[in-house]
Structure 1
Amino acid sequence: MQTFVSIAQNAWGIFISERKPGWKYLMQLFAVCSAVGFLSSFLLFLGMHFSLAHHPLGPLLISGFIWISFSIALSCFKHLRCFSVLFLLSCGLQNGRNALITAGTGVVVAGNIQNIFHNLKVLADSITCHLEYEQFALIKYYVEAVKWIYDKAKLSTELLLRHEFTPSYSISDDELKQQLNDTKQEIQRVANQISFMLTILPCIGQKVLPIVGIFLASFGTGLFIKKFVGSHSAKFKNTYITKQFIAFDEQQKQRQRPCLLPLNRKERKDYVTIPSFCLTRKDKRNMQYFFLPVIIHLCIWLLFAAVDYLFYWLIISVNKHLQEVPDLEIKLSLFQQRNEDSFIIHMGEHIEKTAPFKISLFKHDCIPQPELALSTTWIQLGVIIFFLSIFGLFSGFLTQLKILVSTSFYPGTEMKRIHYLHAKLLKKRAKLQEKTEKNVFARTVNFWFPILKAREAVRKKEMSVANDNMV
């Protein structure tokens, strides 16, 4: 373990140092830069692999080219080495958060929202299916009843029926079928448009947003470096106590000059020794700002998931009740009264026929069958939320690492920041001590000379009365 730590420290020392002559040093620097370039190109390869899943060879070639060119560039430019490390750290802060939130929104669009529209289409198809399902079984029984009446009348001696009797029926439903067909086509057209939009938007986001995210992360990193080395660098995020600050304060103490350490309780709330997992009040406030958009998007994701589940549950409940609806039982009864002399006047023989049959009110093939995509969607969202939580909890620590990396690459700027912070804290302490001494003196005078305190109270009362009279 100690060997690994020693190798890492030596590699870091080579990486942050200025370029020196000599082949041995150049080879060591190129090896370290190649490792950093490989890590960067590997992360880029992962992003392009998920974005360009249908072209596996393209991301590999691009990543290999970037690895070689980036390693050479890192070996030549110190500022680029600083930029690369800060860029990797920035991916765990706001830029990484925004990328993960975008990925989570894409998962919700591809999962819950598409599933909601799919279930709506299933419901619309079910309605049109029920309208298309023409139940003419009842008419068939009516035809059989008419034929039975004819046969009974034919057997009667009073009625001499010698003609053939062939009942039939026809239904004019061309207009209904045309309207149903138009309705189905309109539903399919709207469904295709929605499906196209829900497919193309995540696809565009998957291709474009990684590039935009890399650009924003690069811009933010460049802006961070500019502020750190600019004219106002002494005030930029200068609330951290580094090892160099501790060494400088120790030198001041040895020279019999004012020193600061250890900090008092109030100062420790605003200034913290780094690296440390302790956070200042400003870091805690920044952490809250970090989690604010995460919580907002999480509520939106939960809303869509709830709508998806409730709509699925509604259709399933309706399906269950529709399947439990019993068939409609119809009994068709026919009667004939026959007398001895006349078929109409006297009541004689009684003939009855009953034909029971059942009709299903709902065709089982037309009952909608919804789908639910909560399990697969929320597995992916769970992973995204986990990394968002990790990034949020370690956002303060990553900011500390960015400051430490910047101070390692720019030691001259670090000394300016140390002098400024040291003088600032000394000035605050001097003001606080002066204020404390004044309060102690005032309390002492009031204690030994209470008449002065009484005169001061009377004078204030007279001034307040005069002000009231003027009003």
Structure 2
Amino acid sequence: MFAKIVAMLFSCAKIFVSGKECGWRNRMVFGLLCLLLGITVSSFLILVLVLSKVGVGSVNLSITFSFGILVFVLACVSKSARCMSVLFLLACGMREGRNVLITIGTSIVVFNNVRNILGNLKIVADSIICNLEAKRVSLKVVPFDFYSNWLSSIYVYAKQQFFNPFSDVVSLSDDFQCEIRISDHELNVMLNETKARMQTASSSISSVFGIMTFAGRIVFLIGGISIILVGTWIFFKKFLILNKANNSYITKAFVLYDEEQQNTLRVLPLSRKEQNMYIQIPSLRTSDKQKLNVALYFLPIMTNILIWTLISFLDFMLYWLILTVTKHLKSLEMAVAPITMTFSHTHMDLKDLFNLRRADTQQHTMNITLFEPQCAPKPELSLTASWIPLTILIGVLVFFGLFSTFLIQMKLLVMASFYPSKEFERVQYLHQKILEERSQETLASKLNQTLRNILAQANFWFPILTRKHYVNS
């Protein structure tokens, strides 16, 4: 069963590469393969557009659908288009595609976390202004009510103590009104100006930030895809013209070519040193140089993940700090401000016929809230909105990084399948290169052996003594 599946896959690959198979069944298979290629390319494009949040859903679907149809049509009529499309998909998992995905991840963090940090800071500022406004109203009314009531009570007391010996003849009337006016116009104007400035600054920052983020996403997206296309085209032309593209891999064509050579001109099997330089593909084995390339592939990924984590941590810490401070402020008890009012007066008593000086004192308390509950800030947290797509993106990057060396092999095998004549030229070049390296190594080893023999002779180190010995002899 497995052998049949493998044979079927090889048959489909042959039909897709040649594109000249006869028969309606082969043509149908070829059309389906080209359609699958267009769907795969459009799926990658829609994934990039969704992660980068460029455009709306209908626009993204229209773009990807049109691009998929274009790829399908070109793949049906051109072998180069089929080859370039497959190379483009493979290049998306290599350094060019990695840079595009890293740029998308950075835009996600900037758009969500950085914007959320600025929004939470604005919420804190609005809360402070709201608290000041509430305190302005409470301080305007509450304390001075005590003063007004106390003045009225003094008036009533003085009226009761007033002595009128002619109360039957003369009637005294009075009209006492206590009005308190507080001028807080300047404070009110200052608060309104502060709110207006904050609103203007917040709107300006949000507008500029949104425009820069959207423009940056579009620029980096188009630039990244363009870099992938240019890199694919360079690899394509380099293989066709220079015949030296990635000349460190031994394919099946190389093995067959080596078997046709004479025993003195064969290079297989390779030495231990050569096995570390040249790898027989397809294979998951990696050389030391390729391991270093994989490490270099992951280096910018890890660096950007640390930066994304730091920005997200700052966002979370600000959110946690606002919530914690708000919780402690709400738990504070009301501050009790004692108000003591004392007035002195002369109490007249006709029985004793002398004046008695008295002082009356009244105690009042005023409760003041240090933090108004209705002004409590309500921060927002954007970790879910940013780290769900980031997790998907990091997973894709790790997958591509682990198989980056295998993707390079697949690129070479794809080019060899589409252009076997160029692959034969590459095999000849690599075969001759290995033979020349071996001849140079042989010559270098002979020179080293000769040099060691010369250095081992006594006449090289003591020419005068050896010459004298020969003369005496």
> Equivalent of 1:304, from 300, 308, 311?
311
- AA of the residue aligned to 2:275: R
Equivalent position of 2:338 in the other structure:
331
Q: Deviations over 1:77-99 (max 9, x none)?
A: 11111111111111111232122
Q: Which whole-Å CA distance do the structure 2 matches of 1:307 and 1:322 have between them?
A: 22
Q: Which whole-Å CA distance do the structure 2 matches of 1:28 and 1:142 have between them?
A: 96
- AA of the residue aligned to 1:154: K
Q: Deviation of residue 64 (structure 1)?
A: 4.9
Q: Which whole-Å CA distance do the structure 2 matches of 1:394 and 1:406 have between them?
A: 19
Q: Which moved more, 1:27-36 or 1:264-273?
A: 27-36
1:372-451 → structure 2 map (5 Å cutoff): 372-447=381-456, 449-451=457-459
Matched, 1:453 2:466: no
Q: Which whole-Å CA distance do the structure 1 matches of 2:61 and 2:385 have between them?
A: 29
Alignment length (residue pairs) = 452
3-state SS in 2 of match to 1:368: coil
Matched, 1:268 2:275: yes
Equivalent position of 2:290 in the other structure:
283
3-state SS in 2 of match to 1:257: helix
Equivalent position of 1:469 in the other structure:
none
Equivalent position of 1:233 in the other structure:
243
1:53-72 → structure 2 map (5 Å cutoff): 54-56=56-58, 60=61, 63-64=64-65, 66-72=67-73
Over the residues paired in the alignment, what is the CA RMSD in angstroms?
A: 3.1
Q: Which whole-Å CA distance do the structure 2 matches of 1:208 and 1:353 have between them?
A: 74
Q: Deviation of residue 386 (structure 1)?
A: 1.7
3-state SS in 2 of match to 1:355: strand
Q: Do 1:269 and 1:281's aligned partners in 2 also have CA atoms closer than 8 Å?
A: yes
Matched, 1:244 2:261: no
3-state SS in 2 of match to 1:358: strand
Equivalent position of 1:191 in the other structure:
202
Q: Deviation of residue 197 (structure 1)?
A: 2.9
- AA of the residue aligned to 1:292: L
Equivalent position of 2:227 in the other structure:
216
Distance 1:388 1:455, change over 3 A: farther
Q: Deviation of residue 76 (structure 1)?
A: 2.1
Q: Do 1:312 and 1:370's aligned partners in 2 also have CA atoms closer than 8 Å?
A: yes
Q: Which moved more, 1:350-359 or 1:65-74?
A: 65-74
- AA of the residue aligned to 2:434: L
Equivalent position of 2:106 in the other structure:
105
Q: Deviations over 1:188-214 (max 9, x none)?
A: 111112222333344445555544443
Identity of aligned residues (%): 35
* Unpaired segments ≥5 residues, structure 1: 459-471
- AA of the residue aligned to 1:378: W
Distance 1:61 1:294, change over 3 A: closer
Distance 1:67 1:228, change over 3 A: same
Matched, 1:141 2:149: no
TM-score by length of 1: 0.85
3-state SS in 2 of match to 1:405: helix
3-state SS in 1 of match to 2:128: helix
Q: Deviation of residue 328 (structure 1)?
A: 2.4
Matched, 1:360 2:365: no
Q: Which whole-Å CA distance do the structure 2 matches of 1:412 and 1:185 have between them?
A: 73
- AA of the residue aligned to 2:77: C
Matched, 1:7 2:8: yes
Equivalent position of 1:313 in the other structure:
320
Q: Deviations over 1:240-281 (max 9, x none)?
A: 1111112222222xx323222222222222211111222234
> Equivalent of 2:176, from 165, 168, 179?
165
TM-score by length of 2: 0.85
Q: Deviation of residue 369 (structure 1)?
A: 2.8
Q: Do 1:153 and 1:159's aligned partners in 2 also have CA atoms closer than 8 Å?
A: no
Distance 1:265 1:219, change over 3 A: same
Distance 1:62 1:375, change over 3 A: closer
Equivalent position of 1:43 in the other structure:
44
* Unpaired segments ≥5 residues, structure 2: 166-171, 467-473
Q: Do 1:30 and 1:72's aligned partners in 2 also have CA atoms closer than 8 Å?
A: no
Equivalent position of 1:462 in the other structure:
none
Q: Which moved more, 1:194-203 or 1:402-411?
A: 194-203
